[in-house]
């Protein structure tokens, strides 16, 4: 009888520990950044709808691409966020700053040179 009680309690303990939240995502981790976001892009005063996709690269880095009705951009270099902030200059000299706030992202891209521009995306994760 004691064996049966002990078995029951062990089974109960194992079941309870297995029912934890396995899908919890730590704030600002790579998993928190990854996803598809929709919002508005403002490039030098011109606004339009945008879809921004962030994918994982390795254990911590991410890659970013976005698309509007007339433009598509992909940041080729993997970027490793510093908590909820990205501050990065890619291999072409484009400066990128992004901030993650829960399911909202603000992403700014500055291109300098002959055709300089500043684009800011404000979007929410789908």
CATH number, position 88? 2.40.128
Report the number of distinct structural domains present in the chain.
1
Q: What is the pLDDT of residue 115?
A: 84
What's the domain range around 30? 26-125
Q: What is the pLDDT of residue 75?
A: 77
Quick check: 77 and 91 in contact, CB under 8 A? Answer: yes
Indicate whether 2 belongs to any domain: no
Indicate whether 19 belongs to any domain: no
**What confidence tens digit (pLDDT) does each residue in 32-61 have?**
999 999 999 999 999 999 999 999 999 999
Q: What is the pLDDT of residue 93?
A: 84
Beta strands 117-125; 61-67: pairing state: unpaired
**What confidence tens digit (pLDDT) does each residue in 22-34 have?**
567 788 999 999 9
Predicted model pTM: 0.77
Mean pLDDT computed over every residue of the chain: 85
């Amino acid at each position: 009888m004691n064996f049966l009680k002990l078995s029951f309690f062990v089974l109960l303990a194992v079941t309870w520990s297995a029912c934890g939240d396995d899908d919890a995502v730590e704030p600002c981790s790579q998993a928190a950044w990854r996803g598809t976001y929709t919002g508005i892009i403002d490039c030098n005063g011109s606004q339009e709808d945008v879809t921004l996709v962030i994918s994982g690269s390795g254990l911590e880095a991410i890659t970013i691409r976005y698309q509007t009705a007339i433009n598509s951009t992909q940041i080729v270099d993997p970027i490793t966020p510093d908590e909820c902030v990205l501050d990065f200059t890619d291999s072409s000299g484009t400066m990128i700053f992004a901030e993650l706030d829960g399911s909202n992202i603000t992403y700014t891209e500055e291109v300098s040179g002959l055709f300089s521009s500043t684009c800011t995306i404000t979007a929410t994760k789908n």
